[in-house]
Amino acid sequence: MASLPPMQESLQPLEFDTPILEAKIAVLPPKREWRVKVPGEAKLTVKILYGIAEVFGTELTNDVEYTFQSANIAIYSVEHVKIEWKCAEALEPTISSETSMPYIYYLHFALEKMRLSSFDGPRMLIVGESSSGKTTLAKTLSAYALKGKPYTPLYINLNPQEGIFAPPSCITATPISYLLEVESTMWGQSMTTGATALHSKQPMVKSFGLEQIAENRELYLEAMNQLSKAVEGRLRNDPLVRRSGIIVDTPPLSHLDDSYTELKAAISKFNIDIMVVCCPDDSLAIKLGEVFQSLVRIIIRIPTSPGVVKIDDVARRSFQRSQIREYFYGNKNTVLSPYTIGVDLMDVVVWKPKSTLELGDAGAKTSMTELERVEVNASNLQHAIVSITYAPRKSTPEEVLKSGVLGIALVTEVNETKRKMRILLPVPGRLPDKAMILTAYRYLE
């Protein structure tokens, strides 16, 4: 029987360009925070070797690697914790005993008592300046509500610059019924982006469409009003969500008008009974208490954590880009396969919100809650993010304005010569025969 001749040369090991990252160790005593800022292009890998540690209220599993990108991370040690971390970029993590977590624990226990004592759970509004820890507090309280009992708190995001369960430009209300993805820039996937472990029903999404609330305050209030009606319908039909309560995360106070019209509307529309003020001292809480003491039952201050990092415009843009990309492509835990389709320009109807930046003084003479028809061409739609509404394509602008959002799409190409356009959808299928709303956001792959 013939045999293969012996090899004359020994096999050489393959050489890879990717260097092996050196693992670094951090040991945390109980009740400490390990904080680090991860730049947009860097990737931080963290593994808990032993002990109980949390990120935004969600416990990290031991001996499991977590990857963070374009984020400010604070790992809280419930007990003695040993952390192994790796990053190709030079990071400067710190360990601090100054944390707001004990106050958040007390607030969580108070909310638990309210859920046990009534079928109507707490209705809480979180306010504060930019980078005061509002969203971190909302995320942590949502995660804690899932730990002891099978609650389903309704998280409401009223900041259109934040992409939470939807890309930026939307305001959302989402029942939280599963542990949040700590690695996700969007808190996890929603029903509009494919399979999810969140809730059996879709999150409620309303399109505001603009970047700044000041561009169209009337439209923002109308979008909030429409969202509140959807929320009340959900609470009436879902006893578990009603008992779990709602957590409303608001825009920074600097984005609101001086008389707090938007906050007063939110308190009224969502029947808020608890206001939580995130600030470093009592001055802001006292000021807001004088304004809102007759509108809510309880006003509480949660100290801003010293670990809060100020987010500049560059970092915010990078964060929003990551959120848009995650909506279409998912993350390493939930990989999505977006689908590009070609459609005729004549088959697309797009509306857009009015902006005071474009209208100037003329905005005072027109109804700011009316949508404008958009001419379908490359200059208006190339690389644009659009909201696909539930309203049929031939609906009136009033019907489109009152409609919820079915999903988000990205216009990747507009060919005016061939009268065709290419649209990226988060899931395969035909383009729904629905009206669209143009947003102020663009995304170039």
Binding residues: 33, 131-136
* Secondary structure letter of residue 286 according to DSSP: H
* Short-list 208, 204, 190, CA closest to 233: 204
Question: CA 154 from chain center: how many Å?
Answer: 14
Measuring CA to CA, how many Å separate 127 from each of 71, 256, 277, 396? 22, 11, 5, 36
Asked whether 212 and 160 are in contact (CB, 8 A), the reply is: no
Q: What is the DSSP letter of 11?
A: P
SS3 271: coil
Rounded to 5 degrees, φ, ψ at 95 are -120, 130
Residue labelled with tokens 């729904």: 432
CB atoms within 10 A of CB 251: 23
Amino acid code (one letter) for 269: K
End-to-end CA distance of the chain: 58
**Using CA of residue 322, residue 326, residue 331, residue 336, what is the dihedral sign?**
negative
Output the known binding site for ATP.
33, 131-136
For residue 276, which of 311, 257, 303, 236 has the smallest C-alpha distance? 303
How many helices (H) and strands (E) are present in the chain, helices listed first? 10, 23
Segments of 12-64 assigned E as strands: 24-28, 32-38, 44-50, 53-55, 58-59
Nearest to 129 by CA among 261, 308, 319, 356: 308
Which residues lie below 8 Å from residue 407, measured CB to CB, with a gap of 6+? 192, 193, 387, 388, 425, 426, 427, 432
CA distance 296 to 82: 43
Tokens 């800022």 map to which residue? 37
How far apart, in whole angstroms, are the C-alpha atoms of residue 367 and residue 23? 59
Q: Are 266 and 225 in contact (CB under 8 A)?
A: no
> Which are the contacts of 316, defined by CB distance < 8 A and separation ≥ 6?
161
